[in-house]
Every structure is written in C-alpha cells, then in structure tokens.
Copies of this chain bind each other. A is one copy, B any other.
Amino acid sequence: MKIMRARYSIILLLFTALPISAIVEFQDGQPVEMQLTTDTPLESETPDKMASPIGKSSAPDGFTNNAFGDEVCERLEFGQAMPVITTQEDPLPSWNEGPSKKAIIEFVMRITTEGSPDFVPMAERIATFDNDGTLWAEQPIYFQLAFALDRVKILAPQHAEWNEKEPFASLLKGDLKAVLAGGEPAIFEILMATHAGMTTQEFENIVKEWISSARHPKTGRLYTEMVYEPMLELLAYLRSSGFKIFIVSGGGIEFMRPWAEKVYGIPAEQIVGSSIKTKYEIRDGRPVLVRLPEMNFYDDKAGKPIGIHSHIGRRPIAAFGNSDGDLEMLQWTAAGIGPRFMLIVHHTDAEREWAYDRKSSIGRLDKALDEAKAKGWTIVSIKDDWKRVFPFGAK
C-alpha cells in the first residue's frame, strides 16, 4: 500500500480528535459498540422510523417545503418571477426571535429586493455550508469516523492478517491507545483500508448501506436524523430566495454524496469535500474508477476557499460554519465586494445537544469565535436561538 506523507491533516483531524477518556472504554474486540452504546435519547420522545428529515419540517405558508424544488425547475429556460418573501410569513419557525434570526432575514431581504443598491443577481447567490456540526451533529465522534470504525469490524473476517497486523490488531482488541501510538501512518492505514481499494460505485453502495442502518450511539437515531431542523429550514429559505447551496466540508465528498441529496436537497454536483485519488481502469470490458489510498484534496481550513474556487468558481455571498476549520471559508466570503453574510453555529446546549467550543478536540471553535465577535459575524447559540434542535423530539 502506497503511503503518501503529504496530507495527513485530514486523518489527524478525524482520528486524533477522538476523546481519549472515551476510548479507554473500548474492550473485548468491540471497539465501537462497547463505547458507543445507545443510552438515553437526547430528547425523550419515542424514536420513530423516519428515514429522512425532509418532509417533517413544518413549512410556513407560502413556502414550498420540497427540498428538491430546484431540481424541478433549474434546467428550464423560462424566466419567472421570484417568490415574494413578506414579513407576514415566518420562514424560520424553529428559530427563536432574536438577533440571529433577524440578521438572517434582513440579509435575505436586502439582497433580494429589486432596485435596492444591495440587490444581488440570482447567479451570484451562492451560499456554502459546512456539514459536521453545522448541518448535522458531530459528537461524540465525527460520523464518518464511526463509519470507518464500523468498516474495520465488518472487514476483519476477510482480513485474518489484521489479527496480527497493527494498527488493526489493537483496534480489533479495542485498544485504541495503542493504535494512536502508531501515529499518522497507523491512522492513515485504517482510513485507507476502509475508504480505498474499491471502485467508486462499490464505495457508494457501502456508504448507502451504512447510512441507512447505522445508529447514533447517544440517540439511537439514524445518522441522517441527526440533522438540525433550524438549518433545514434555513436551507429551504435560502433556496426559495434564489440561492444555489453548496456543502463545503472537511468530510469526504464521496461519503456525503450518497445521502446528501435526500437529506438536504443538495445534489451531488453541489457538494465539495475532501477526496482521495481515483484511477480510471477498464475491468471486464467496462470502465471503472478505482479509489486509491492516496489523498487528493484536503477541504478544510485554507483548503475550503481553494475547494470553493475550484468547484464553484464564484465567491459565496453567504457562508455557514461552526469551527475553526471554517474560518478561512468565512474570511474568503467576507472579503468579497457587496453584501455578505457569515454565520457560526455555537454549540451551547448541553441538554438538547452538546456544549463545546474552545477546548473540544472535535469541532474546536476558538479563533473563529474571536474573529466572529471582532467582525460582527452572526453567532448562533443553539441554546438560545433554536426552539428545537433535531427533526425528532418535542417541539
């Protein structure tokens, strides 16, 4: 296996973020489930079998709640009047009244009012959203990391050599401390063993299978239910206001694409993320793309503006994040000419979700919090600004 030394950052991001205090509970060859056993759901309502949060959110009058609405129309050539957002309607019913909600709505009004000096033509209404911690939760570990750990367990029977070979042997024994002692190469090997070596189609199938069945350890919900209801409303509001929405995530682009359209209404071509290299091959007379154990692009921190420029080719006028990994995306967005909107989701609600910021190993929010305060960016406090957090649970 070819080990590239150039780009370990994403791996470090994923793996060194593991809270060690949690890891030591892993035992008896069950590194994930032992620790991440479902306990009391965060919200007390009985879980239902909701496959997708879309369709559950309550759309305000006058708003289409079809997250796929842009699919219906975006290829047509015929002009059409924009839906008028009046102040009588509430596009964000899960948001408490307050400065955050007010700032969002005022920005949208400002850039969509024709004749206003701040009017922005539709083609330039680009909004970029981080995913982990911004659109869906990221505790107790990044969900893609849960996927990787699950995959090691699933693949272990086909890899008898892993019982003797590090870092897999330690991982399968539940000794994640020993795994981490192997440093970057060990971590890289786990990531590549679970994300590379198959065709892109095979990987898509693997992700679809996992995402439709794996359960969050804390709530027992599907991971796709661990999305933030207020953010789904925000996506719908921006979409209905003429925005084209992109995900710009440090997570793997091919990990997100199989489910993001269904969950967020964001199509594959509007997702930007980290990637590994692929290789074009003819197998049995048919072309395939094979995923290689080599980093291609690291879409976090300074990588986010680069990913935005590469994929979108336009500067966003609005950007949404939750951690220091989003700082450069927010700076890049803020530096454009004309009206801009920068927002940070601050995880302040230990009861309904999690509370963490400057000292968290996952989703650390430190420098970006300072800069947001200094520059007057909108800081959303989940505890104060959101009436509800997830699509499930009490209203």
Measuring CB to CB, which residues of chain A are less than 8 angstroms from any residue of chain B? Answer: 64, 66, 68-80, 82-83, 122-123, 125-126, 200, 236, 239-240, 242-244, 253-254, 257, 261, 267-271, 275, 278-280, 282, 286-287, 289, 296, 302-303, 305-306, 309-314, 328, 331-332, 335
- Minimum distance in angstroms from A273 CB to a CB of chain B: 10
A70 contacts B76, C-beta separation under 8 Å: yes
A286 to B268, CA, bound (A): 31
Residues of B within 8 A of A125 (CB): 75
Assembly of this chain: how many copies? 2
Contacts of A289 in B (CB 8 A): 305-306, 309
Q: Which of A74, A296, A303, A313 has the most CB of B within 10 A?
A: A313
Q: How far is the CA of A225 from the CA of B284 in the complex (A)?
A: 44
Minimal Cβ-Cβ distance residue in B for A260: B313
- The answer to whether A72 touches B78 (Cβ under 8 A) is yes
Which residues on the B side are within 8 Å of A271 (C-beta)?
313
Task: Provide the main secondary structure of the chain A interface.
Answer: mixed
Which 3 A/B pairs are nearest by Cβ-Cβ distance?
A69-B77, A268-B313, A74-B74
Q: A69-B78, A73-B77, A287-B328 are in contact. List 19 more A-B contacts (CB 8 A).
A: A71-B123, A72-B80, A73-B78, A73-B79, A73-B80, A74-B76, A74-B122, A75-B242, A76-B80, A77-B239, A78-B80, A254-B313, A269-B270, A278-B310, A279-B306, A280-B328, A286-B335, A287-B305, A311-B311
Q: Name the B residues within 8 Å of A79 (CB-CB).
A: 69, 72-73
A94 to chain B, nearest CB (A): 18
**Which residue on B lies nearest to A281, using beta carbons?**
B302
Contact B73 A253 (CB under 8 A): no
Contact B83 A78 (CB under 8 A): yes
Residues of chain B lying within 8 A (CB to CB) of residue A78: 64, 69, 72-73, 80, 83
Contact A310-B77, Cβ < 8 Å, known A287-B328, A287-B331, A331-B287: no
> Nearest-CB distance from A283 to chain B (Å)?
10
Contacts of A302 in B (CB 8 A): 279-280
Q: Which residues of chain B are within 8 angstroms of A253 by Cβ–Cβ distance?
A: 310, 313
Minimum C-beta distance from A147 to chain B (A): 18
A76 with B73: CB separation less than 8 A = yes
Provide the residues of chain B in CB contact with A80, threshold 8 Å: 72-73, 76, 78, 80
Contact B122 A71 (CB under 8 A): yes
Asked if A312 and B268 sit within 8 Å, CB to CB, the answer is yes
Instruction: Provide the residues of chain B in CB contact with A313, threshold 8 Å.
Output: 253-254, 257, 268-269, 271
Please, how many angstroms separate the alpha-carbon atoms of A305 and B335 in the complex? 34
A75 near B74: Cβ-Cβ < 8 Å: yes
19 A-B contact pairs sorted by A residue (CB < 8 Å):
A64-B78, A68-B123, A72-B80, A73-B76, A74-B76, A75-B239, A75-B242, A76-B80, A77-B83, A123-B261, A123-B267, A253-B310, A269-B269, A269-B312, A278-B309, A280-B305, A287-B331, A287-B332, A287-B335
A257 vs B303: C-alpha distance in the bound complex, in angstroms? Answer: 20
